[in-house]
């Protein structure tokens, strides 16, 4: 099939590379000229395991290319995927500027029947807005070319995006058109061979499914963080409680890891957008609002613990930060807990020495050169001359440390662990003051 994808970010690139890999012909369009130039030269601007190989393999096979030429892209694919950003607007709603801009662009260049596939995460009712935007431009052009709009939300996780796209639990398509259904079955056929993973439903249901899924996952995280904070006050250990509840199959172990809050490009904005949708519908979503409030509070936890450990005397201190990305196996720092921590530290007059296996370039891009930020090339370099260590991301490389050596290296024996990677007793035995999340006996 011929497929066009608008937006060459995390979702657009993974979708493009994966669909090309199963034999489709794919053109990826982006408005960012620099990005397209880099991609066309075989350079992948984001870190996602396996993506660079998949892109270069499919470019070499002639099934995947990148361009800024929207006219060429619109003429090319029967399917026109929309995978552009939908950031939070000031009031928390999803900003549809980029999605509607793509709709206009498609309307401007469309000469034959097209299926527009909303893959961006968009509020209920967006497919109708996209339809109206295209129809308006076609009318201005004096055309009545046929087209359909469907919803195909994406559930991939950064860090495991290719695996998720290829072997995800479901492929949701919102449409009431047989023509669209058949085209989507053909598009995803190679991913749908083992069992029928395709869930066809109404467009509005598909749009809401994505928000409900992310809000549910965010709820699990905020719930366990709430209980972790309670455990801290009551002298219980959240890690024991986690095992105690996760063993019940109705609850399960996934997504109940306590930590320093969720971040990334999706949960924060999608939870806010769902809350806004609910408010606008006259049906405020109390639980969703609470999930967001708990998370904002949780992102301050690491700073609060440091502040407590140093009796508020953080000015002039050097703090080693391990992990900048919002989660392991990505370089994405959007809404990452590390950012709340670093920004609070700078405000308090402290210096940061940070290390991340993949996100240091992104950190440099975000914060530029500054005297109170050193980006270390190696994990242990970040500890040199540091008063304390804070762990923000659970990269595998942080799981094994010689604690005796750590105590001797740090100027003060303070370790703040935002991901509960270690046993409090082991660190205590090594002479370290260990502050984790929800582990009452460790503080
Ligand atoms: P991103 O910011 O990484 O990429 C978006 C890209 O779209 C950018 O390269 C930008 O230059 C491009 N763009 C903007 N306007 C354009 C236009 N008019 N024409 C062509 N390209 C244009 O975004 P992302 O993380 O890939 O997310 C895209 C959408 O998918 C969002 O709605 C997001 O919520 C959703 N989503 C993201 C993830 C994720 O893990 N990142 C997972 C599931 C769903």
Nearest partner of 431 among 404, 411, 401, judged by Cα: 404
- Identical fold, 2-201 and 211-297: no
CATH code of the region 211-297: 1.10.1040.10
Residue appearing with tokens 């799981």: 399
Q: How far is the CA of 337 from the centre of ligand 1 (A)?
A: 21
Select from 3.30.420.130, 1.10.3720.10, 3.30.1490.270, 3.40.50.720 the CATH code of 299-442: 3.40.50.720
Q: How far is the CA of 34 from the centre of ligand 1 (A)?
A: 16
Contact 17, 48 (CB under 8 A): no
Contact 142, 108 (CB under 8 A): no
Three-state SS for 240-293 is HHHHHHHCCCCCCCCCCCCCCCCCCCCHHHHHHHHHHHHHHCCCCCHHHHHHHH
User: Bridge partners of 434?
Assistant: 415
| Residues with active-site annotation | 266
Ligand 1, pocket-test mutation among 5, 18, 29, 85, most atoms within 8 A of CB: 85
Q: For residue 32, give both structure tokens.
A: 């960012």
Nearest CA to ligand 1 atom 42: 156
- Residue 443: the pLDDT is 41
**How far apart (Å, rounded) are the C-alpha atoms in residues 187 and 79?**
9
Does the CB atom of residue 102 touch ligand 1 within 6 A?
A: yes
Q: For residue 108, give both structure tokens.
A: 């401007």
Helices (H), 158-237: 161-167, 178-188, 203-234
Q: Is 418 annotated as a binding residue?
A: no
Homologous superfamily, domain 2-201:
NAD(P)-binding Rossmann-like Domain (3.40.50.720)
ipTM (interface predicted TM): 0.99
Contact 391, 323 (CB under 8 A): yes
Does the CB atom of residue 414 touch ligand 1 within 6 A?
A: no
Spatial neighbors of 254 by CB under 8 A, at least 6 apart, are: 220
Q: Is 286 annotated as a binding residue?
A: no
Q: Is 148 annotated as a binding residue?
A: no
- Residue 193: the pLDDT is 84
Contact 115, 150 (CB under 8 A): yes
Nearest CA to ligand 1 atom 3: 9
In the chain, where the domains are located: 2-201, 211-297, 299-442
Nearest CA to ligand 1 atom 41: 10
Does the CB atom of residue 80 touch ligand 1 within 6 A?
A: no
* Tens-digit pLDDT profile for residues 14-28: 999 999 999 999 999
Ligand 1, pocket-test mutation among 4, 5, 6, 7, most atoms within 8 A of CB: 7
Three-state secondary-structure class, residue 345:
helix
Residue 397 is classified by DSSP as G
User: Low-confidence residues of the chain, pLDDT below 70?
Assistant: 441-443
* Tens-digit pLDDT profile for residues 48-68: 999 999 999 999 999 999 999
Ligand 1, pocket-test mutation among 12, 18, 89, 329, most atoms within 8 A of CB: 12
Contact 136, 107 (CB under 8 A): yes
């Amino acid at each position: 099939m011929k497929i066009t994808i608008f937006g060459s970010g995390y979702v657009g690139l993974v979708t493009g590379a994966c669909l090309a890999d199963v034999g489709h012909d794919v053109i990826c369009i982006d408005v960012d000229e620099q990005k397209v130039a880099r991609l066309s030269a075989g350079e992948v601007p984001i870190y996602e395991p396996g993506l660079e190989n998949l892109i270069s393999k499919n470019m070499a096979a002639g099934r995947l290319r990148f361009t800024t030429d929207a006219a060429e892209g619109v003429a090319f694919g029967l399917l026109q995927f929309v995978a552009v950003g939908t950031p939070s607007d000031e009031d928390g709603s999803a900003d549809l500027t980029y999605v509607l801009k793509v709709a206009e662009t498609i309307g401007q260049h469309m000469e034959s029947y097209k299926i527009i596939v909303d893959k961006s995460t968009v509020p209920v009712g967006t497919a109708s807005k996209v339809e109206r935007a295209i129809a308006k431009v076609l009318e201005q052009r004096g055309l009545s070319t046929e087209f359909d709009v469907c919803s195909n939300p994406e559930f991939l996780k950064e860090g495991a995006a290719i695996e998720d796209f290829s072997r995800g639990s479901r492929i949701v398509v919102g449409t009431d058109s047989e023509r669209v259904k058949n085209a989507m079955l053909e598009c995803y056929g190679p991913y749908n061979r083992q069992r029928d993973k395709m869930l066809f439903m109404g467009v509005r249901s598909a749009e809401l499914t994505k928000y409900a899924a992310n809000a549910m996952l965010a709820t699990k995280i905020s719930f366990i963080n709430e209980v972790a904070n309670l455990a801290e006050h009551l002298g219980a250990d959240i890690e024991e409680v986690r095992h105690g509840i996760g063993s019940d199959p109705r609850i399960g172990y996934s997504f109940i890891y306590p930590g320093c809050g969720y971040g990334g490009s999706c949960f924060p904005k999608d939870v806010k957008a769902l809350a806004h949708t609910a408010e606008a519908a006259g049906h405020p979503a109390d639980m969703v609002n609470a999930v967001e409030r708990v998370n904002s509070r949780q992102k301050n936890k690491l700073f609060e613990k440091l502040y407590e450990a140093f009796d508020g005397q953080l000015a002039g201190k050097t703090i080693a930060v391990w992990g900048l990305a919002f989660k392991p196996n990505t370089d994405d720092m959007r809404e990452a807990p590390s950012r709340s921590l670093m920004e609070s530290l700078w405000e308090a007059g402290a210096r940061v020495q940070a290390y991340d296996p993949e996100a240091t370039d992104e950190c440099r891009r975000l914060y530029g050169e500054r005297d109170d930020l050193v980006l270390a090339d190696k994990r242990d370099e970040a500890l040199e001359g540091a008063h304390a260590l804070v762990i923000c991301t659970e990269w595998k490389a942080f799981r094994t440390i010689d604690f005796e050596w750590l105590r001797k290296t740090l100027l003060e024996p303070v370790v703040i662990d935002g991901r509960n990677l270690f046993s409090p007793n082991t660190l205590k035995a090594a002479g370290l003051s260990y502050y984790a999340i929800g582990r009452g006996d460790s503080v």
